[in-house]
Amino acid sequence: MPDEAQPPKQPEQTREAKPLGSVGMTGQQLAEAKRYGRYDLVCTLADKGLDLAYLAAVAWLLPAPINLWLKRYLPTDNSFDMSLRLVAMFLIVIAGHVCVSFPLSFYSGHVLEHRFGLSNLTFGGWLWRYAKRNLLALAFGLVIFLGLYWIIWTTGRYWWLIAAGAFFCVSVLLGQLAPVLILPLFYKIEKLDAPELSQRIGRLAEGTGLSIGGVYRIGMSEETAKANAMLAGLGRTRRVLLGDTLLDGFTPEEIDVIFAHEIGHHVFHHIRKMIAAGIIYSTAGFWVCDRLLTNAVPDWDGKYRDVPVWTLPLVMLILTLFAMLLEPLQNAISRRYERQSDRYALKRTGRKDAYLSAFRKLAKLNKDDPHPHWLDVLLFHSHPPIAQRLAMAEESPAASA
């Protein structure tokens, strides 16, 4: 249920003084989008703060007692016992994290989405998705951290370089598998079965190397009222996924523009570039981890074979913190890619009118605050504010057909 409607705070805009990038929202819609953006920001900050506080507490207080307790059952320091202790330690840390973070996840993922009329899920439906997401993250995390410690234990001093190489391979593998194995766990995905639309977007994709066989309809409406589209996959799994919410609620011209935006990501190799940049981030992250780890182990003698299992929460904390610090940079790059794809979409379709109406529709549907605070954008937004995306189009010379 949406919040109790509040009267618009500002007077009605005069028609002739429409500012550049105007989203065409009523005062009430704008206020609601602002309120949703504020709640979202507070939840994001609380979530990150909670993650750091929890990991810091576990890293400083718990690892030694947990390790001692685990050693009663797995006493030796051979690789089998150490691996099992690591798995147990990981499961304990994650179980604690789920307990600590569940209330906020429930509030931001379910309560808030319903309050703003954006969720189509029952509580059971939400809980099932939440469980699936966490089980998947648990399975991946287990493989990744076990792999990481094996690399530390067996390769020694330059483990961080080898770990970065391994991380790159995992990213490529995940990039390939995500659209065929992971997304279908959450959404119904089927080939686009709309001959006329397929023909239109087939023409847009011509010459870009993207095959029209790679265009899919993704059933988002089961989960949300929001509309979206995405480019996913690598190589043979490369595809464009168009939300059913988008296909059902937007005109063919508007869909053209959004599809062309996704082709832009494909044409400019954005996914590949992100993965390549990941090599730099992960090398730096694992190196920092190495420096801090060798300082944290008392009487460090340079023997990586002996890096103790109790360091796991510390490693998780360092990597989490590093990823958070890096996020603004990654978001800045992502916003740049989005602008590049926006310009491409305008040029490719030549339809400024459809571009403007598509993004206005998206903003209204998704309750996007068109003018979020610049600091919020700088830190957390992977996409430029809608008002900027509209202003860019209004200022562009692209023909309006």
What is the contact surface with Zn ion in residues (CB under 5 A)? Answer: 338
Nearer to Zn ion, 110 or 348 (CB): 348
**Taking the CA atoms of the chain, what radius of gyration do you get in angstroms?**
24
Closest approach of Cβ 383 to Zn ion, in Å? 7
Closest approach of Cβ 256 to Zn ion, in Å? 15
Nearer to Zn ion, 51 or 262 (CB): 262
Closest approach of Cβ 389 to Zn ion, in Å? 10
Nearer to Zn ion, 217 or 261 (CB): 261
H helices of 220-351, where? Answer: 244-249, 252-267, 270-296, 312-349
Closest approach of Cβ 338 to Zn ion, in Å? 5
Only one residue has tokens 């996913």, namely: 232
> With contact defined as beta carbons under 8 Å apart, do 118 and 33 qualify?
no
Closest approach of Cβ 368 to Zn ion, in Å? 14
Residue 230, SS3?
strand
> With contact defined as beta carbons under 8 Å apart, do 272 and 176 qualify?
no
Closest approach of Cβ 198 to Zn ion, in Å? 21
Burial readout 86-120 (b: 16 or more C-beta within 10 A, e: otherwise): bbbbbebbbebbeeebeeebeebbbebbbbbebbb
Cα separation, 244 vs 375, in Å, equals 33
Nearer to Zn ion, 86 or 363 (CB): 363
Closest approach of Cβ 382 to Zn ion, in Å? 9
CB atoms within 10 A of CB 312: 25
Nearer to Zn ion, 317 or 363 (CB): 363
Q: Which tokens sit at 39?
A: 């709640």
- Cβ within 8 Å of residue 293, ≥6 positions away: 307, 311, 314, 315, 318
Nearer to Zn ion, 256 or 338 (CB): 338
- Cβ within 8 Å of residue 19, ≥6 positions away: none
Which amino acid, 293?
L
Strand order in the sheet with 189-191: 189-191, 215-218, 239-243, 229-232
What is the CA angle 179-182-187, rounded to 5?
Answer: 80
Closest approach of Cβ 68 to Zn ion, in Å? 50
383: left (phi over 0), alpha (psi -120 to 50) or beta: beta
Residue 250, SS3?
coil
Nearer to Zn ion, 93 or 363 (CB): 363
- What's the farthest any 2 CA atoms get from each other in the chain? 78
Closest approach of Cβ 261 to Zn ion, in Å? 6
Nearer to Zn ion, 290 or 338 (CB): 338
> With contact defined as beta carbons under 8 Å apart, do 35 and 112 qualify?
no
Nearer to Zn ion, 322 or 337 (CB): 337
Q: Give which of 321, 297, 312, 322 is closest to 150, Cα–Cα.
A: 312
Nearer to Zn ion, 54 or 250 (CB): 250
Closest approach of Cβ 215 to Zn ion, in Å? 16
